[in-house]
Amino acid sequence: MTEKQRIVIYSLIDSERLKYVLDTIFNERLQISYLLTNNLQAIGESDEVIEYNYQKSTDYNFIQANQLIENSFMDKSFRPTISGEGEDLLLFPNSDSLLEMDIFSATFYCLSHFDAYTQTQFDIHQRIIFSKWFPRISGLDRLPYIEIWIEKLRLHLMNQGFNCGISTFRQDISFDIDHFYLFDQRPILQHLKASIGDIIRGKFFQLFQRWLIILGLTEDPAEKFFNFLDYQNSEKFSFFILMKQGKNNSLNPLNELKKLLIKKLKRYGQLGIHPSYESSFKKGLIKKELMELQKISEQYISVSRFHFLRLSFPSSFHQLIESGIKIDKSIGYYDCPGFLSSTSLPYFFFDPILNQRLELMIQPFLWMDSMNKYYRNIDEDDEKRELHEIKRVVKKYNGNFSVVFHNDSMIDRRYRVLFKSLLYN
């Protein structure tokens, strides 16, 4: 069979959403060229053609389009159709279509975070409450469905003579550095207030530990994080630094010692900015914090993840771009594991309100240690089994296994063991 060079999408639909999806699927994922055209005369004899319209009008392979892909506005009343379960789950199912679904509308729906724009319930941190989140209710977040659907398309195209590209499995472990210290390097007035709180809550061991550290008789527990990193020579990590001190932010003021620790982290991997609690809702704050981190680290910082995962669609992402950020790793659940955008691989952010792709790459994460510390009741063995099952699934579909720890979680043996299990299994 002669290897084919080009796929043609014959469609009367002309939309930014469709172009975004075709670029994602063909250029970025399958690494093959495509032509989108409404002119049948532009089709060559050796082209592989897929007709993408509301009604079939040719003898080519056909995918029935959904109105979602042509809209240029945000329809908050829109709800997708879904069928099947497990690896056979289909979004916008249609028995007359290639793959029995509208893979283009399905991909757009997931990657645009469409449901985020329909939400009306938010928690005390102004984050989405996911109990009514369609991807969670429907099961769209349980597997990397975009990888599953594109793999089916890849197999179809390979049978037609295409040499399609394929991703490779990658493990991405990052740490959010909210506090370099849990007790040390804090104003004495804070310690006095905290000590009163320790007494009221009966945390006498914590009170004792606090004053041993204040008096210089023992090291802060969080300092051991650097000792822990010294043993991990084979893998580099990402570290997201929180620059702002105060309520819901870092416990530690920015001093010379903290600056030295930021510089020290460079030897273990990549630095990123952890925009503060207020940054997503206060214009200009991300850029200010980013410039401060770049000055201290003496390097260009292009990666971010919002503190508390406190962000707003789409304004937070526009602020990142205005600040010079190229990659954001904030997309993921704060309350339980899952594929929030139905993929583990990176993709460009699309703003469905402005109806345009932004030059900001999104790398979703699938799991975070704080999910189980604060939002779920799950024992250590089940947590480990669950995390390694997610890793197995991601590896099966050659995705990015992106997980998040906090440096102060390494105080807990449970998370040290879990972290090491990812390195050696």
Which DSSP string do the residues of 237-249 spell out, in sequence order?
A: EEEEE---BSTTS
Residue 205, φ and ψ in degrees, nearest 5: -65, -40
pLDDT tier for residue 218 given thresholds of 50, 70 and 90 = confident
Question: Amino acid identity, residue 51?
Answer: E
With 0-12 / 13-18 / 19 or more C-beta atoms within 10 angstroms meaning exposed / middle / buried, residue 152 is middle
**pTM for the whole structure:** 0.93
| Cis check: omega of the bond before 253, within 30 degrees of 0 | no
The answer to whether the CB of 92 falls within 8 A of the CB of 80 is yes
pLDDT at 39 over 90: yes
Q: What percent of the chain has pLDDT over 70?
A: 98
pLDDT at 1: 47
| CA dist 290 → 198, 298, 317, 360, 406 (Å) | 35, 12, 15, 16, 20
Two tokens, residue 33: 């060229």
3-state helix, strand, coil in the chain (%, to 5): 40, 20, 40
pLDDT at 388: 98
Residue 327, φ and ψ in degrees, nearest 5: -135, 130
pLDDT at 149: 98
Dihedral sign from CA coordinates of 336, 342, 346, 347: negative
CATH of 170-183+221-424, one of 3.90.1150.10, 3.40.50.300, 3.20.20.370, 3.40.710.10: 3.20.20.370
pLDDT at 283 over 80: yes
The per-residue pLDDT of the chain, averaged, comes to 94
Average pLDDT over residues 212-216: 82
Domain boundaries, the chain: 6-159, 170-183+221-424, 186-219
pLDDT at 234: 65
Average pLDDT over residues 47-58: 97
Residues 6+ apart with CB under 8 A from 54: 64, 65
Judged by phi (left if over 0) then psi (alpha if -120 to 50, else beta), residue 300 lies in: beta
pLDDT in tens, 336-395: 999 999 999 999 999 999 999 999 999 999 999 999 999 999 999 999 999 999 999 999
pLDDT at 4 over 80: no
Helix (H, G, I), strand (E, B) or coil at 34: strand
How many Å apart are CA 92 and CA 82, to the nearest integer? 6
Question: Amino acid identity, residue 367?
Answer: W
With 0-12 / 13-18 / 19 or more C-beta atoms within 10 angstroms meaning exposed / middle / buried, residue 341 is buried
With 0-12 / 13-18 / 19 or more C-beta atoms within 10 angstroms meaning exposed / middle / buried, residue 242 is buried
